[in-house]
């Protein structure tokens, strides 16, 4: 996935040296909207954060434009943000540019990719939450994003590349699995394995009991084991 660099969007330097955080400390992916026009420049958002709000840099770690799905580097993956009180160190803040704007398929795919990439970088499944769901003090990120988040950020699959139309193999119809889904399935498989092992232990214990009962009935000593 392509991320527009800070240089490319004309970022100002942070006022002070950015404070970083180890990815293992992250627990949340916090989704915001900018509350401004969907075409607003990232630089204008940064100016508001730095001059209007007086913060060190643009508030967010990453940004996504609701209309085009373009991803912009904000503070960066491993920098403490200024997007949600109490969630700036343990949360990665993503701002969707727009004011409750409809999400294009590209924007949905971009957000799902950010979630998967953040999970990969942090080595865990982050809790995906809208700003107001965590702090209760704001309508941010608006109803469109709240619905999208609550539904588990379903991203429509990429339109098929016309160069690939010749292929009609069964494998091509299999839907791609996201890293998050793979992690979830792996953890479910792990749980199932543990249950089987527990059941196996119970069966073994019952077998021993039965052997003991049989031994008692015929009046011999049960074998150890």
Contact call for residues 138 and 85 (beta carbons, < 8 A): no
- In three-state secondary structure terms, 12 is coil
Among 6, 32, 75, 108, binds Zn ion (CB under 5 A): 32
- Which of 32/65 has CB closer to Zn ion? 32
Q: Quick check: 129 binds Zn ion (CB under 5 A)?
A: no
- Which of 11/96 has CB closer to Zn ion? 96
Among 65, 129, 131, 146, binds Zn ion (CB under 5 A): 131
- Which of 92/140 has CB closer to Zn ion? 140
- Interaction residues for Zn ion, span 138-197 (CB under 5 A): 140
Question: Among 60, 46, 61, which Cα is nearest to 15's?
Answer: 46
Beta carbon of residue 140, minimum distance to Zn ion (angstroms, whole number): 3
Rounded CA separation 26/181 (Å): 19
Rounded CA separation 74/5 (Å): 8
- Which of 109/131 has CB closer to Zn ion? 131
| Radius of gyration, alpha carbons of the chain | 25
Give every CB contact of residue 2 below 8 A, 6+ residues apart in sequence.
Answer: 71
Contact stretch for Zn ion (CB under 5 A) within 25-33, 42-50, 173-181, 210-218:
25-33
- In three-state secondary structure terms, 180 is helix
Under the rule (CB under 5 A), what is the footprint of Zn ion?
32, 131, 140
């Amino acid at each position: 996935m392509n991320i527009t660099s800070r240089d490319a969007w004309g970022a100002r330097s942070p006022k002070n040296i950015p404070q970083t955080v180890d990815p293992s400390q992250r627990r949340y992916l916090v989704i915001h909207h900018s509350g401004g026009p969907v075409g607003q420049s990232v630089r204008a958002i940064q100016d508001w954060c730095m001059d209007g709000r007086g913060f060190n840099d643009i508030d967010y770690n990453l940004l996504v434009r609701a209309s085009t799905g373009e991803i912009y580097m904000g503070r960066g993956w491993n920098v403490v943000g200024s997007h949600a009180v109490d969630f700036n160190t343990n949360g990665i803040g993503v701002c969707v540019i727009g004011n409750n704007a409809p999400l294009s398929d590209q924007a949905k795919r971009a957000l799902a990719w950010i979630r998967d990439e953040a999970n990969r970088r942090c080595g865990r499944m982050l809790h995906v939450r809208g700003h107001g769901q965590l702090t209760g003090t704001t309508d941010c990120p608006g109803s469109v994003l709240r619905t999208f988040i609550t539904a588990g950020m379903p991203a429509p699959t990429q339109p098929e590349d016309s160069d690939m139309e010749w292929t009609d193999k069964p494998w091509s119809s299999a839907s791609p699995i996201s890293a998050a889904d793979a992690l979830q399935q792996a953890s479910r498989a792990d749980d199932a394995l543990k249950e089987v092992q527990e059941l196996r232990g119970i069966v073994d214990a019952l077998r021993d009991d039965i052997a003991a009962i049989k031994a008692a009935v015929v009046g011999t000593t049960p074998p150890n084991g």
